[in-house]
Amino acid sequence: MARLTPKLVYVLVFLVGGLVVVGDHLTSRSLSGLGAPGQLGSACAPCGAPCIETDG
């Protein structure tokens, strides 16, 4: 059986922490609306530029 050394403990903590961070990132909903036009009031363009309507 392998001896539990401080180096091994640090590697295991780093790997588990990395897995938690990656798992949290992949399951977050922060990028779910990326590319979709938002509710920007009087904006016409998906980028949020204001609509300039000319009568005539």
Matching residue, tokens 């904006």: 43
3-state DSSP call for residue 43?
A: strand
Which of 56, 35, 33, 29 is CA-nearest to residue 47? Answer: 35
3-state DSSP call for residue 50?
A: strand
Q: What is the pLDDT of residues 39-48, one digit of tens each?
A: 545 556 667 6
Given a cut of 50, is residue 54 above it in pLDDT? yes
Confidence (pTM): 0.49
Residues 51, 47: Cα–Cα separation, whole Å: 11
Q: What is the pLDDT of residues 1-21, one digit of tens each?
A: 578 899 999 999 999 999 999
